Structure 1
Amino acid sequence: MPEMFQVLPPVEALKVLFDQLSPNVMTENVDTAEALDRVLIEKLTAPSSLPSFPRSTMDGYAVRAKDTFGATESLPAYLNVIGEVPMGRGFELEVGLAQAAIVYTGGMIPPGADAVVMVERTQKLDAKNIEVLRAVAPGENVIEVGEDVKEGEPLFDSGHILRPQDLGGLMALGITKVTVAARPRVAIVSTGDEVVPPEQTPGLGQVRDVNTYTIAGLAARSGGIPQQKGIIRDDYDCLFSATREALDTADVLVVSAGSSVSTRDLTADVVNNLGKPGVVVHGVAVRPGKPTVLGVCNGKPVIGLPGNPVSAMVVAGLFLVPLLWRLQGLVKPPARQRVTAILAHNIASVTGREDFVQVRLVERESELRAEPIFGKSNLIYTLVKSEGMVCVPLDSNGLHKGERVEVELF
């Protein structure tokens, strides 16, 4: 049967979708402890210096560096120990000429001292006196005030995705709440008379729902809140009613449909009637995933995915993932992790489309090799058994064994 839609390259299709959207990034204040992977929507500066007092990086003795100049094992410097700096508290005495104070790692450097001699570089003479066996320079083994970050120093710009170390850095400065982009709500509707829930034993001709869960996982990883709206049979009225209700409570609607032309047309018809302008892209020059529908309904994006699991996940990675980051205020999504590997087998293609082929990574003879996992797009375990994908470019008729290829990791 001839195709009834015009295909666009993925980059062009995504641009068409984005050109129809004017996302209004919603914000919320959250506890910093709960802000991992959230997109910051404020510019943060340090409210104070860190550390706020000079600290020792070693167990040893806080000294005036000049009192140790020239010290060697054969000609040590002699210093009088005036006390011990307690952890978590200050020290009332000041280190003066030819004096030292016992300090511990992370402890405060007492007034008058400007360096720390490691305990291994000293020798006790008695309870009050030590020999310093090697000289230290000013600032040696000391973290100065503001050496980590200075008061007023920029920390993060708006649009920064908070990492584990960022949370620790904010907590160190007492920043316990942050303003972040609200997570987009992603309604996921799965369709098909043959699709049943995973907990149900399929009958003849039936399959368990896969796409709801792979798409929900992708949405959650991209900052979205997946809303599973169940399985709808291949009936226009049922699908229209379910998608309209789902779109009312979500920011994005994803419909996982069948791969037949009739099912694609059903999804497109529904999208065209959910709101204006309706379908903006019907068909993408990509394999797997050609029967893709992109739409905008009264300001909300809608993505119609092919029903085959591999196709659905590839298309969701191309369109849903960057869309969710865009709705959180990021013009460009975070860079995906990639590795370079040697292709283990030829990959055939045709010009005019992008082919995405799953690969497993194997190290042989100290080189990383990408072994294609060839399989039909309705076989979920071609994805399960792979570590990433190789993209055959739009203008290429294939890739050859032995070529160095870029593997986008899952």
Structure 2
Amino acid sequence: MFNKTYLLPGEALKYLLSSITDKDITIERLRIEECYNRIIANDITAPEDLPQFSRSTVDGYALNSRDTFGAKENSPAYITVKNEIFMGIAPDFKLNALEAAKIPTGGMLPEGADAVLMLEHVQMISEDMIEIMRSVSPNENVIQKGEDIKKGETILTKGRKLMAQDIGALAGLGITEIDVFKKPIVSIISTGDEIVPASSPLKLGQVRDINSFTLAGLISEHGGIPVKKGIFKDDYDTIKNAIKEAIHDSDMVLISGGTSAGTKDMTAQIINDIAGIYGSAGVLFHGVSLKPGKPTIGGIIKNKPVLGLPGHPAATVVCFDIFIRPVIEKLSGLNSERKFIKSIIAKMAKNIASAAGREDHIRVYLEERDGEILAIPVLGKSGLITTLVKADGIVIIPQNKLGLDAGERVIVRLF
């Protein structure tokens, strides 16, 4: 049973997240080229050193640093050039005292060498003799064996979202397949007698479907697989069957529209009725102390989160950020300690009022003036899609504040 008192957004989210357990998250093995932005399912340790040999970071001469000590332009040292090192070929010789070998960037140091002198500090005296114009220290211009990654070292941890450089590190270690968490499948059900497909010509009183496209993009961007189930009329059996089907083949269900107190808004009742069939919790909350997004519904059917979202586009985006994104991230196996929100500090350009006891999400666009970043409110009702198009992000007014003052520094959560 749910409490009819409106919950704070954070409390409502806790109800949803607490319903998700590790058994709800599954694993698949993929080639690393398929794993960009995927979440690692297990810690990954290095099977070998990287690099596997000491190599030069510059074009120059491999030598023993002791042979250069004290060398300078007016008092150079002289060293015999014994050989030349080529890329991809291990040297089959050893350098003795006062001997050097020409080496390219990335070349393998031969035995007896512990440093590389750059070409710029060398003068050729003859084909087999160079003049050293400065000294080098041990390991100068050299990457040591295992200096980047040592064999057995944990290089990537479970729950990390893989970036391009992570995939590069795996490739460098010869790891070509890894276990990642499967992307959660999120079904989108659009409801409303007035909603028609985006491709349809409009009749008076009709509205094209906006929210399923917005939600699908946000779901994809944050690691889920969106499945648009279609547009369904405000009919109990029709919507009930759509939700039952979505529960069967997805990890999360979003119902756009049908959450307010209107006579046709039956989403909460349907969630409870379906939940009763499976012995599930049903509706956890119906209504949140939030603007926009107050009539949001959150529930559980067969251990799967089900959210009823307001039909207004701005409310949909706010609800996605507060509720849907964190749920997708948990279903994706993302490490909660490594979740970061893209944000920027700005100054409010004008006063904004807020009602006590309600968390307000204010859409703003950013503008630079006199070297400062200003957050300028995008005013308009939550049903206006242009308030989102014009905005760069959102400023949150906590429930215990009555508003924001012009000039006050705020954190803008960027879209």
* Shorter-chain TM-score range: over 0.9
Q: 1:328 aligns with which of 318, 332, 348?
A: 332
Is 2:5 aligned against 1:6? yes
Indicate whether 1:296 and 2:300 are aligned. Answer: yes
* 1:168 CA drift (Å): 0.7
The within-5 A match list for 1:203-214 is 203-214=203-214
Superposed CA deviations along residues 132-175 of structure 1, whole A, max 9, x for unmatched, are 10000110000000110111111122111111111111111011
Deviations 1:178-204 (A, max 9, x none): 111111110100111111111112221
2:286 pairs with 1:287: no
1: CA distance, partners of 2:335 / 2:232: 34
Aligned-residue CA RMSD in angstroms?
Answer: 1.4
Residue 353 (structure 1) aligns with: 358
* Equivalent in the alignment of 1:199: 199
Residue number in structure 1 paired with 2:175: 175
Read off the aligned partner of 2:14 and give its amino acid letter: K
Opposite residue 374 of structure 1, the aligned amino acid is L
Q: Is the 8 A contact 2:259 2:266 kept in 1?
A: no
Aligned to 2:412: 407
Q: Describe the shift of the 1:264–1:330 C-alpha distance in structure 2 as closer, same or farther (beyond 3 A).
A: farther
CA distance in 1, matches of 2:384, 2:345: 26
| Partner SS state of residue 310, structure 1 | helix
Q: So what's the TM-score if we normalise by structure 2?
A: 0.95
Aligned to 2:388: 383
Distance in structure 2 (CA, Å) of the matches to 1:354 and 1:100: 71
Q: Pick from 293, 308, 312: which aligns with 1:308?
A: 312
* Contact map agreement 1:218 1:317 (CA 8 A) in 2: no
Q: Could you tell me whether the CA contact under 8 Å between 2:49 and 2:150 is conserved in 1?
A: yes
Is 1:395–2:400 an aligned residue pair?
yes
Tell me how far apart the structure 2 counterparts of residues 231 and 139 of structure 1 sit (CA, whole Å). Answer: 67
Contact 1:21-1:296 at 8 Å conserved across structures = no
Q: Which runs of 5+ in 2 are unaligned?
A: none
Please state how far the C-alpha of 1:32 moved relative to its aligned partner: 1.1
Partner SS for 2:212:
helix
Asked if the contact 2:122–2:133 (Cα under 8 Å) also holds between the matched residues in 1, the reply is yes
Cα distance, 1:95 vs. partner? 1.3
- Post-superposition shift, 1:64? 0.7
Partner in structure 2 of residue 22 of structure 1: 21
Counterparts of 2:385 and 2:4, CA distance in 1: 27
Q: Post-superposition shift, 1:330?
A: 3.7
Stretch deviating more after TM superposition (259-268 or 63-72): 259-268
CA contact (8 A) 2:20 2:330 kept: no
Quote the Cα distance in structure 1 between the aligned partners of 2:212 and 2:166: 32
Equivalent residues of 2:158, 2:335 under 8 A apart: no
The alignment partner of 2:61 has SS state of strand
Q: Is the 8 A contact 2:288 2:295 kept in 1?
A: yes
Q: Report the Cα distance in structure 2 between the residues aligned to 1:133 and 1:86, rounded to whole angstroms.
A: 24
Q: Which amino acid aligns with 2:389?
A: V
State the SS of the aligned residue for 2:240. Answer: helix
**Shift of the alpha carbon at 1:176?**
0.8
SS at match of 1:261: coil
Q: 1:23 to 1:297 in 2, by over 3 A?
A: farther
* In 2: Cα distance, 1:306 partner to 1:401 partner: 30
Looking at structure 2, the residues matched to 196 and 142 of structure 1 have their Cα atoms a distance apart, in angstroms, of 65
Measured in 2, the distance between the counterparts of 1:60 and 1:216 equals 55
**Within-5 A mapping of 1:224-303:** 224-258=224-258, 260-262=260-262, 265-275=265-275, 276-303=280-307
Identity of aligned residues (%): 45
Query: What letter is aligned with 1:287?
Result: K
Query: So what's the TM-score if we normalise by structure 1?
Result: 0.96
Amino acid paired to 1:300: K
Deviates most, 109-118 or 251-260? 251-260
Would the aligned equivalents of 2:234 and 2:264 in 1 still touch at CA under 8 Å? Answer: no
Matched residues in 1 for 2:250 and 2:373: separation? 42
Deviations 1:289-324 (A, max 9, x none): 001000001211100000000001111111111011
- The Cα shift of 1:260 comes to 4.3
1:331–1:286 CA distance, 2 compared to 1 (3 A): farther
Amino acid at match of 1:10: P
Q: CA deviation at 1:82?
A: 1.3
Residues 1:173 and 1:263: Cα distance change in structure 2 (over 3 Å): farther
Is the contact between residue 72 and residue 132 of structure 1 (CA under 8 Å) also seen in structure 2? yes
Q: CA deviation at 1:407?
A: 0.5
Three-state SS of the structure 2 residue aligned to 1:262 is coil
Paired residues of 2:67 and 2:98 also in contact (CA < 8 A):
yes
Which residue identity lines up with residue 404 of structure 1 in the other structure? R
Provide closer, same or farther for how the CA distance between residues 267 and 30 of structure 1 changes in structure 2, counting only shifts above 3 A: same
| Distance apart, 1:106 and its partner CA | 1.1
8 A Cα contact 1:234 1:263, kept in partner: no
Residue 356 of structure 1: CA displacement? 0.3
